[in-house]
Structure 1
């Protein structure tokens, strides 16, 4: 193996590792940390730890590929694959959204019961955060209660921030319903919220059926990726076949081929995932 090529590859890997760590750190930190409740720090630390683990795995895998092939492009592609393939071949994002919607349904029903029992909206919101908050929405609900109880923020502004933190069209529906309750202060709020919770429950059921169908699509994508990886590994043992890839022109061809495969796989991923929809409660003004 060419020693200069190996050293160049290790240098590229080091640069790539630094870039990955920087991006991981940047993505893991929100722009307004001090506006989040203390429980938000747990989520931030978990996200950072996950990014760091992926970065470490990506660097090790890239160095291993570089040491085997001496191809900088192969090392870069390997690192990129470590970061992107888990998202492409799994439905974790969709499953997390379903869990969050289920949590919103449960929280909305509890809130409806509190309003039906005669509590004021602000008291009901604060009480809903005091006990048994569903984990997927614990941070936004806790922040909402803190803004109402500690910061004495106007109810409508706090609810808009709450919908902003949920960052989901369904969350906007619930937030809008609560804003109307805060404005009108009339009876029947519990009935409206119960009806809304029923709609959320139906949406969750529909999404589960859709995700069951999409699981077959993701299985197909896994097979495609597995066959591609197996073919690549077998090809590496054919020395005469892979020799041209060790040249600058061969590296350029390899980069183009990898980019085309990446675009195709990402397109398959997009076809198997629905868009989250458009939010309508987005004008929140300044954050507290």
Structure 2
């Protein structure tokens, strides 16, 4: 073949093949870098989405955007369109009933009841594992799914300490961590006098529940006042737009839109401040990453 092509042609082919090979390596490296960049960008978007409130579903966001566009088209005020969208996303959670707090209080009351049930069952000379299985079948309604899962995990052969840690992680409450920590120590170290300790823990949980109920009652009065203020303000604005539109003509200008934006920012800042002062600082949890810890524990009857 060298006699047919000659030295110059062979050199050209070699250079071309080397160039193609180099370009291939560059393309592979570029593709790997772009893929890593896309994965990193997707991870950033996932992290941002995880920080959004759980109530902001795709349907709710779509409804808020559509409502903002409709209001903006009817009033010809772009600032009102933005404020409408933001208001529909944030005001229901701020002004509506705090269902999450109510569910949490109900769970803590159920936890105190279950702790007392454990104490009474242990007083009948039953072991801790048997007491857990017996009380799970008559669990309070608020904790029924978690306790049924705990009983199923224990019956599957997993050691009680690991099952209790998974149970604490499912409840996700510092008060529950205290109770579960006492049970874990009793299961691992065969602690005595567990019954009186459970009674004291149940009393402590009930005191914490009563304190939270008092705090929630105070926050409810604040929510009522803010709700009245928002309803009156929005009612007056809608009434002026419908019945006396010329009165709002100054807002058709750029200066009017800036003033309206400042008013909206002030409302948002005041609502954010009310949310911050009404937030309860939770104590540090005693049990973390329970599923990972439980998964590493040996299962009774399995391989060691």
TM-score between both structures, scaled by the size of structure 1: 0.71
CA-CA distance at 1:192 after TM superposition: 1.2
Measure, in 1, the Cα distance between the counterparts of 2:53 and 2:279: 22
| 2:301 counterpart residue number | none
Residues 103-182 of structure 1: matches in 2 within 5 Å?
Answer: 103-129=110-136, 131-150=137-156, 152-182=157-187
2:88 alignment partner, one of 70, 82, 92: 82
Gaps (5+ residues) in structure 2? 1-48, 296-304
Q: What are the superposed Cα offsets for residues 5-38 of structure 1, whole Å, 9 maximum, x if unpaired?
A: xxxxxxxxxxxxxxxxxx69x976xxxxxxxxxx
Measure, in 1, the Cα distance between the counterparts of 2:219 and 2:186: 38
Asked whether the 8 Å contact 1:98–1:204 carries over to 2, the reply is yes
CA-CA distance at 1:247 after TM superposition: 6.2
Structure 1's 63 and 180: CA in aligned 2 closer, same or farther, altered over 3 A? same
Gaps (5+ residues) in structure 1? 1-22, 29-46
Residues 1-288 of structure 1: matches in 2 within 5 Å?
Answer: 51=57, 54-55=60-61, 58=64, 61-89=67-95, 90-129=97-136, 131-150=137-156, 152-237=157-242, 238-240=244-246, 242-243=248-249, 245=251, 254-284=260-290, 286=292, 288=295
Greater shift, 278-287 or 266-275, is seen at 278-287
Computing the radius of gyration from Cα coordinates, the structure with the larger value is 2
Measure, in 1, the Cα distance between the counterparts of 2:190 and 2:107: 28
Asked whether the 8 Å contact 1:221–1:268 carries over to 2, the reply is no
CA-CA distance at 1:141 after TM superposition: 1.8
Measure, in 1, the Cα distance between the counterparts of 2:141 and 2:73: 44
Measure, in 2, the Cα distance between the counterparts of 1:122 and 1:180: 13
Structure 1's 156 and 255: CA in aligned 2 closer, same or farther, altered over 3 A? farther
How many aligned residue pairs are there?
Answer: 245
Instruction: Quote the RMSD (CA, aligned, Å).
Output: 3.2
Greater shift, 207-216 or 176-185, is seen at 207-216
| 2:28 counterpart residue number | none
